[in-house]
C-alpha cells in the first residue's frame, strides 16, 4: 500500500508532546474536530488551519518526547496526518502511535535530507510504502525497517483496541 501526501518539515529535535498537543487541553473533553484545531499549535500556530488529510510530518531526533499522553498521537491524526518520519522517536510516543495506528517511521537519512532541503521540499509531495519499507522525498528514495510481528498485527487491525476486540472474538 503506497501513501502519497504533502510533507511538513519540522526542523527540530526533541519536539515534545506539549507542543504536539498543548497540556492545557489534556483534561478537556474535546471532539476529534476540536482536538485537531490544536495540533502543533505551540510549535506552528498555522499547522492546524492548513493541514489536510494525507499529510506527513518529517522531524529530527526524539520526536514525541515528554509525557505519555495518547492525545499527542490522536491530535495530529485528527488533523489529517497519516505518518511521521523522524530520525528517532520517544519510545512511549512510538508505542502510542502503534496503538493508534499512526505510521511512525524511523529513518535518520530521510530526516536529515528533508531538513537540509526544507526550503525546496516543505509542502511538496512525498510517497511512503510502509509495508515495503520505502519512502520518497524530492525524488530521492530512502529505505527503513517496516513493522513486523505483533506490532504489525496491531497496526493492521487498526490499532490496539481493534486488535484486542478481534483477539477476544476469536478466543
> Which domains are present in the chain?
3-146 (3.20.19.10)
Give the Cα separation of 5 and 127 in Å (integer).
7
pTM over 0.85: yes
pLDDT score for 42: 92
pLDDT for 28 = 86
Q: How far apart are CA 39 and CA 46, in angstroms?
A: 9
Q: Could you count the other beta carbons within 10 Å of the beta carbon of residue 165? A: 12
User: CB neighbours (10 Å) of residue 151?
Assistant: 14
CA separation, residue 125 to residues 9, 45, 82, 139, 164 (Å): 12, 22, 13, 9, 35
- From first to last of its 171 residues, the chain has per-residue pLDDT tens of 899 999 999 999 999 999 999 988 888 889 999 999 999 999 999 999 999 999 999 999 999 999 888 999 999 999 999 999 999 999 999 999 999 999 999 999 999 999 999 999 999 999 999 999 999 999 999 999 999 999 999 988 999 999 999 889 887
In which element (H, E) is residue 92 found? helix 91-100
Amino acid at each position: 500500500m503506497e501513501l502519497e501526501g504533502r510533507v511538513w518539515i519540522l526542523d527540530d529535535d526533541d519536539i515534545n508532546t506539549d507542543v504536539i498537543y498543548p497540556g492545557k487541553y489534556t483534561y478537556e473533553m474535546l471532539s476529534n474536530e476540536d482536538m485537531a484545531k490544536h495540533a502543533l499549535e505551540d510549535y506552528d500556530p498555522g499547522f492546524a488551519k492548513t493541514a489536510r488529510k494525507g499529510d506527513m510530518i518529517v522531524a529530527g531526533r526524539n520526536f514525541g518526547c515528554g509525557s505519555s499522553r495518547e492525545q499527542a498521537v490522536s491530535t495530529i491524526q485528527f488533523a489529517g496526518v497519516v505518518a511521521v518520519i523522524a530520525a528517532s522517536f520517544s519510545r512511549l510516543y512510538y508505542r502510542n502511535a502503534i496503538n493508534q495506528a499512526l505510521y511512525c517511521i524511523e529513518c535518520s537519512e530521510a530526516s536529515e535530507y528533508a531538513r537540509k532541503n526544507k526550503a525546496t521540499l516543505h509542502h511538496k509531495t512525498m510517497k511512503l510504502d510502509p509495508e515495503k519499507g520505502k519512502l520518497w522525498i524530492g525524488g530521492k528514495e530512502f529505505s527503513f525497517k517496516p513493522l513486523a510481528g505483533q506490532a504489525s498485527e496491531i497496526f493492521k487491525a487498526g490499532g490496539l483496541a481493534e486488535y484486542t476486540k478481534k483477539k477476544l472474538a476469536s478466543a
